[in-house]
Chain A
Amino acid sequence: MTVSTTVSAAPWLEQKEQQPLVQIRGVTKKYGEVTAVDNVDLDIYKGELFCLLGGSGCGKSTLLRMLAGFEDLNAGMITIDGVDMADVPAYERPTNMMFQSYALFPHMTVEKNVAFGLEQDHVPKFDLADRVHDILKLVELEDFKKRKPKQLSGGQRQRVALARALVKRPKLLLLDEPLAALDKKLRKQTQFELANIQDKVGVTFIVVTHDQEEAMTLSSRMAVMDAGRFKQIGTPTEIYEFPESRFVADFIGSANIFEGRVTEDGADHVRVETGFCEVFVDHGHSVKVGSRIWVALRPEKIRLEKSDEVAEGPNQTSAIIDDVGYLGETSIYKVRLPNDEVFDVTMPNQSRPTHATQRITWEDKVKISWDPSSAMLLHS
C-alpha cells in the first residue's frame, strides 16, 4: 500500500497551495417535484476523511451516488482531480464505493470478490494475487479467502467490502453508512479501525452517516446536511463548539436553546438579556444591539450546585430540580428556571453517592452557572 506522507493535517486551510481533489459546484438533483440535493458547493482535499451527516432523506446518499456516477445531475458540476465527471460513466471513475449492505457478490469467494475490480483493469496475474493478499492481510481476513460471503459474520463481511473497495487504490473512496449494519459494540471498535486504515492507505474518504457520534469520531471535517443543503461545514470541534444555527446545535449533541436580546456588542464580548439572567459571552460576535438572538448551552458545560441563596449576576441563576435520570457514568438533571423554562444539565458521577444529603435530588434548590466562553450565539 502506498503510504502518503505529504498530506497536510488540515488541507482545507491551505487552499492556495492545494487544488481540491473533489470540487462540487452548484450540484442539484431532483426526483420529480422533490429536490433531493439543492444547489450545493463543497471542496474536499486529498487525504481527508470527510463525513456527510444528516437524517434520512436529507440528500447525503444521493450526493454520494452522484459522486460514484450512479445518478445524473440536474444542474451543477463535479470534478475529481480536475476532471469534469459529467460524461464519465461509473465504471471509468477513479472512485470506489463501499455499499451500506456491502453488496458482496454471493456467488464468489472472498478472494474473487476482492479480485473482481483488479480483473476489470486487466492487472497481470502475479501482481493481482499479491495485491489481493496484501489487502486481505490489512483487514485481517487472509484465512477466510476461500469462503463465500454467506459463510462470514457481519463484521467480516464489512471488512471484505472495505478490502474490495480499497484494492484498486481509488483516488476517492465513498462509504455509504459503512458501520450501520454492525451491532453497537463492534461499531465503536470498527470506527477507530476504519480511521486507522484510512491513515495507512492515505486514500481520501467520504463517509455518509446518520450517526453523529460516528461522524465526530471518524472525520477530519464534516458537513451537516438537511433538506438537500449544507447547514454547516467544519471540523468536529468547530461544529460542536461553534454551531451556526439551532438546527446544528440541536442535531449534534444536545443543547438548551433559548431566546434573548442583545444589550451590548463589544469587540471582545457580547451581553444578552434573557428571561432569567444576563448571558455574558467573552468573545466577539457580529450581532446588532437590540436584536433578538438564540443562545445555546450544552448540558455538560453547565455547573450545578445545591444552594438556597438567590443567584445574582451574569451566567448564573437559581433553579429547582424537576427530575433526575441516573445513567451510570453520568446523571442528567431536569432543572426548572425562574421563568419556568427547563434545562438539561449533565454531570459525571465522579464518586459514589455515600451520603443521601450530598445527593442532588427532586425538588432541591440549586444554582446553575457556566463559563463566559460556554454560551453559543446562534443567528438562525
Chain B
Amino acid sequence: MYAKRSRFLTIMLTLGLAFFYIPMILLVIYSFNYSKLVPVWGGWSLRWYKELFQSAEVWSAVSLSLQIAVVNATFATALGTLAGLAMVRFGRFKGRTLFGGMLVAPLVMPEVITGLSLLVFFISLNQLIGWPAERGFATITIAHITFSMAYVAVTIQARLTGVGQTLEEAAADLGAKPFKVLTAITIPQLTPALISGWLLAFTLSLDDLVIASFVTGPGANTLPILIFSRIRLGLRPDINALATIMILVIAICVAIAAIVMFRQQRADLLDRQMAEREES
C-alpha cells in the first residue's frame, strides 16, 4: 500500500517538475541551435551567442533595465520601509486605515490600469510644468517605484510585526532617543527584510513589461520590451541565447544565496550546541 502510494507520488512529482522545466530545457538546447529557424535543428553552435554579444541594441536594453532596476529597488526599499514603519510602529493615527488600504492597492491593481493611469499622469504633468519632456528612464523608474514600494512595505510590515517591539523598548529604557533606537536597533533588526525587499523590487522591475510599455518613450527599450517586440517579428534564436544567459545568472544567484544561508544556519546550530554544553 505504502509503496503504491509512493510510486503514485513520484510519478506526479515527475510530471509536475517536467511541466515546469521541459520548456526551459528546450529553450536552453535551442539556444545552441545553428539553424536560423527556431523549430528546425541545424546542429550545435554558439552562433547566436556571438550575434547577441555583437548586438548593441540588446546591450543597451540590458543596461537600461539594470539601471532602472537598481534605482527602483533602492528608492522603493527606502520609501517602503518608511511606510511599513508608519503602519506598524506609529500606533493609531488619523487616516491609518485609508493609508493601509492605499499602500496595498498596487498589489491587486491590474497592471494595465496602473500603466495607463501613470501614462495619463505623465502627459498632464508635462503639459502643466513641462516635465517630463521625454518619457524613458525617469518615467519608467518612477512608475516602477510606485508599485514595487508596496511589496517592500508589506515585507517590512511582516518583519516588524514578527520581531515585536521589546528590543526597541529595551533600547529606549536604556536612554536611547527615538532616532537612535531606529538606527541602532530597528534597522539592524530589519536587515533580512531590507535585503529581501530590495531583491523583490529589483526582480519586479526587471520583469515588468506592461507598465514599462505604457510609460516608456521612443528609443527607451527595457529588456522585456525588446524581447517582446522581437518575438512579434517572429521567433529568433538570439533571444534564446539571451534567455539562457539570464537563467544561468539567476541560477548562480540562487545557489550563492542557498550556500550563504546554509553556512549561517550551521554556524548558529554550532553556537547553540556550544552554549547548551556549557550550561550542563
Chain A interfacial positions (CB closer than 8 Å to B): 68-70, 89-93, 95-97, 99, 101, 103, 105, 107, 116-117, 120-121, 148, 150-156, 164, 168
Q: B272 to A150, Cβ gap below 8 A?
A: yes
B199 at the interface (CB under 8 A from A): no
A103-B166, A105-B167, A150-B268 known; A90 vs B276 contact (CB < 8 Å): no
Q: B176 to A91, Cβ gap below 8 A?
A: yes
In the bound complex, how far is the Cα of B169 from the Cα of A101, in angstroms?
Answer: 12
* A121 cross-chain contacts in B, Cβ below 8 A: 175
Q: Give the shortest distance, in Å, between B65 (CB) and chain A (any CB).
A: 34
- Among B175, B274, B275, B276, which residue has the most Cβ atoms of chain A within 10 A? B175
Residue of B nearest to A89 (CB): B172
Q: Give the shortest distance, in Å, between B175 (CB) and chain A (any CB).
A: 4
Q: Give the shortest distance, in Å, between B266 (CB) and chain A (any CB).
A: 14
* A168 cross-chain contacts in B, Cβ below 8 A: 174-175
A150-B272, A153-B278, A154-B279 known; A116 vs B173 contact (CB < 8 Å): no
* Residue from B173, B176, B188, B271 within 8 A of A96 (CB atoms): B173
A91-B177, A121-B175 known; A155 vs B167 contact (CB < 8 Å): no
B185 at the interface (CB under 8 A from A): yes
Q: A117 to B279, Cβ gap below 8 A?
A: no
B249 at the interface (CB under 8 A from A): no
Q: Which of B226-280 contact A (CB under 8 A)?
A: 268, 271-272, 274-276, 278-279
A70-B169, A120-B180 known; A150 vs B174 contact (CB < 8 Å): no
Q: 6 pairs across A/B with beta carbons < 8 Å?
A: A97-B170, A103-B166, A105-B171, A107-B188, A120-B177, A150-B275
Q: B169 to A120, Cβ gap below 8 A?
A: no
Q: 4 new A-B pairs (CB below 8 Å) besides A105-B171, A153-B278?
A: A91-B177, A105-B167, A117-B175, A156-B279
* Residue from B180, B189, B275 within 8 A of A151 (CB atoms): B275
* Residue from A103, A116, A151 within 8 A of B176 (CB atoms): A116
In the bound complex, how far is the Cα of B272 from the Cα of A103, in angstroms?
Answer: 18
- Among B172, B271, B278, which residue has the most Cβ atoms of chain A within 10 A? B172
Q: B180 to A97, Cβ gap below 8 A?
A: no
Q: A91 to B169, Cβ gap below 8 A?
A: no
Q: Which of B152-187 contact A (CB under 8 A)?
A: 166-167, 169-178, 180, 184-185
In the bound complex, how far is the Cα of B174 from the Cα of A101, in angstroms?
Answer: 16
Q: Give the shortest distance, in Å, between B268 (CB) and chain A (any CB).
A: 7
Q: Give the shortest distance, in Å, between A203 (CB) and chain B (any CB).
A: 15
Q: B175 to A153, Cβ gap below 8 A?
A: no
In the bound complex, how far is the Cα of B199 from the Cα of A336, in angstroms?
Answer: 73
A103-B167, A105-B167, A107-B188 known; A120 vs B176 contact (CB < 8 Å): yes
Q: B173 to A97, Cβ gap below 8 A?
A: yes
Chain B interfacial positions (CB closer than 8 Å to A): 166-167, 169-178, 180, 184-185, 188-189, 268, 271-272, 274-276, 278-279
* B275 cross-chain contacts in A, Cβ below 8 A: 150-153, 156
In the bound complex, how far is the Cα of B174 from the Cα of A103, in angstroms?
Answer: 12
A120-B180, A150-B272, A153-B279 known; A91 vs B175 contact (CB < 8 Å): yes
* B172 cross-chain contacts in A, Cβ below 8 A: 69-70, 89-91
In the bound complex, how far is the Cα of B184 from the Cα of A91, in angstroms?
Answer: 14
In the bound complex, how far is the Cα of B170 from the Cα of A150, in angstroms?
Answer: 17
In the bound complex, how far is the Cα of B278 from the Cα of A150, in angstroms?
Answer: 13
Residue of B nearest to A154 (CB): B279
Q: Give the shortest distance, in Å, between A142 (CB) and chain B (any CB).
A: 15
In the bound complex, how far is the Cα of B177 from the Cα of A105, in angstroms?
Answer: 16
* Residue from A89, A101, A116, A151 within 8 A of B274 (CB atoms): A151
Q: B272 to A105, Cβ gap below 8 A?
A: no
* B180 cross-chain contacts in A, Cβ below 8 A: 120
In the bound complex, how far is the Cα of B173 from the Cα of A91, in angstroms?
Answer: 5
Residue of B nearest to A65 (CB): B169
Q: B169 to A164, Cβ gap below 8 A?
A: no
Q: Which 5 pairs between the two chains have the least Cβ-Cβ distance?
A: A153-B279, A117-B174, A120-B175, A103-B170, A151-B271
In the bound complex, how far is the Cα of B268 from the Cα of A153, in angstroms?
Answer: 13
Q: Give the shortest distance, in Å, between B177 (CB) and chain A (any CB).
A: 6
* A95 cross-chain contacts in B, Cβ below 8 A: 173
In the bound complex, how far is the Cα of B275 from the Cα of A285, in angstroms?
Answer: 56
Q: Give the shortest distance, in Å, between B162 (CB) and chain A (any CB).
A: 13
* B278 cross-chain contacts in A, Cβ below 8 A: 153, 156
Residue of A nearest to B278 (CB): A153
A153-B275, A153-B276, A155-B279 known; A96 vs B174 contact (CB < 8 Å): yes
* A91 cross-chain contacts in B, Cβ below 8 A: 172-178
In the bound complex, how far is the Cα of B174 from the Cα of A7, in angstroms?
Answer: 26
* A70 cross-chain contacts in B, Cβ below 8 A: 169, 172-173
Residue of A nearest to B270 (CB): A151
Q: Give the shortest distance, in Å, between B174 (CB) and chain A (any CB).
A: 4
Q: Give the shortest distance, in Å, between B186 (CB) and chain A (any CB).
A: 11
Residue of B nearest to A115 (CB): B174
* A148 cross-chain contacts in B, Cβ below 8 A: 271
Q: Give the shortest distance, in Å, between B192 (CB) and chain A (any CB).
A: 11
Q: A116 to B171, Cβ gap below 8 A?
A: yes
Q: Give the shortest distance, in Å, between B189 (CB) and chain A (any CB).
A: 8
* A151 cross-chain contacts in B, Cβ below 8 A: 271-272, 274-275
In the bound complex, how far is the Cα of B276 from the Cα of A69, in angstroms?
Answer: 35
Q: Give the shortest distance, in Å, between A223 (CB) and chain B (any CB).
A: 22
In the bound complex, how far is the Cα of B176 from the Cα of A69, in angstroms?
Answer: 13
Q: A105 to B276, Cβ gap below 8 A?
A: no
* B174 cross-chain contacts in A, Cβ below 8 A: 91, 96, 116-117, 120, 164, 168
Q: Give the shortest distance, in Å, between B130 (CB) and chain A (any CB).
A: 48
